[in-house]
């Protein structure tokens, strides 16, 4: 099954509007000769309508870092899938570990956000992953099973045709730690088999599964050589276009 590699940059709460535009414009220039790799950057909500026009017609797409599952209403401070789509963005990150850890994101809310994003025509990137304590207690697969099963319940495979999974071990995010190759391979293989059990192996072989957790130019090639790794969800290294392009062009 030919799955196009997908490299995503999560800018988190960094960069003002002008800084985001400058970074996006530089990245577009650096990506001019990129082929057979899809690239996505997720700035803050405020920067989405500013940088989306900058990347239009290029291999670089934009996405949001979160959304609220209601279409509209008295929900102060929230942003809907329709509002994100109106900026011209194509993707949205759902269930990131920082949302789960700091803002009480639950699997039930993740499921609602997935439904909202799909109905609005956004392509969801569903984040899953275990904490260090859960890994040390050998609960990794138990946690992943629940996050995937609860997050995707009530969906048919036809609704999830644009779904991207992102495995991000919480203990490796922003810590400089990276899961070793055997750990990454084992988890990604498990996730594809899990999706196969929930839906079908044909569907499981079509969706892309990204790795996220201290991804940098020095380790991207090794990660991308793993059979079931189809790309990366990059944090800090995506803020610098000169570093990020080395990850995007991992094949050189």
b (16+ CB within 10 A) / e for 229-242 = bbbbbbbbbbbebe
Q: Helices 140-152 and 181-198: crossing angle, nearest 10°?
A: 40
φ and ψ at 162, to 5 degrees? -100, 5
The Cβ of residue 4 has, within 10 Å, a number of other Cβ atoms equal to 10
**Annotation marks residue 119 as catalytic:** no
b (16+ CB within 10 A) / e for 117-138 = bbebebbbbbbbbbbeebbeee
Q: Which of 96, 105, 130, 188 is catalytic?
A: 96
Q: Closest Cα to residue 83, out of 66, 58, 100, 60?
A: 66
Q: Helices 241-248 and 17-30: crossing angle, nearest 10°?
A: 40
Cα separation of 178 and 159, whole Å?
Answer: 32
Q: Which of 38, 98, 105, 168 is catalytic?
A: 168
Cα separation of 228 and 219, whole Å?
Answer: 16
Kind and range of the H or E element at 55? helix 48-55
Q: Closest Cα to residue 173, out of 110, 223, 131?
A: 131
Catalytic (active-site) positions: 96, 168
């Amino acid at each position: 099954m030919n799955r196009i590699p997908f490299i995503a940059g999560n800018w988190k709460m960094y960069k003002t509007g002008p800084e985001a535009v400058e970074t996006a414009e530089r990245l577009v220039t650096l990506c001019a000769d990129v082929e057979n790799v899809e690239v996505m950057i997720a700035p803050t909500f405020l920067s989405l309508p500013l940088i989306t026009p900058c990347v239009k017609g290029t291999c670089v797409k934009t996405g949001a870092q979160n959304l609220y599952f209601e279409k509209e209403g008295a929900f102060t401070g929230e942003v809907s899938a329709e509002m994100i789509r109106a900026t011209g963005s194509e993707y949205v990150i759902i269930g990131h570990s920082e949302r789960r850890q700091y803002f009480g994101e639950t699997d039930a809310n993740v499921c609602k956000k997935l439904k909202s994003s799909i109905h609005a025509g956004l392509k969801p990137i569903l984040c899953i992953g275990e904490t260090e304590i859960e890994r040390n207690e050998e609960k990794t697969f138990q946690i992943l099973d629940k996050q995937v099963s609860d997050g995707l319940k009530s969906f048919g495979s036809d609704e999830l045709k644009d779904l991207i999974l992102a495995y991000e071990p919480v203990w490796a995010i922003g810590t400089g730690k990276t899961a070793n190759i055997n750990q990454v391979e084992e988890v990604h293989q498990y996730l594809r088999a899990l999706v196969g059990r929930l839906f079908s192996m044909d569907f499981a072989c079509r969706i892309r599964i990204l790795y996220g957790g201290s991804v940098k130019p020095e380790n991207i090639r090794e990660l991308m050589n793993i059979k079931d790794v189809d790309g990366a969800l990059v944090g800090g290294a995506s803020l610098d276009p000169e570093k990020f392009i080395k990850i995007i062009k991992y094949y050189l």
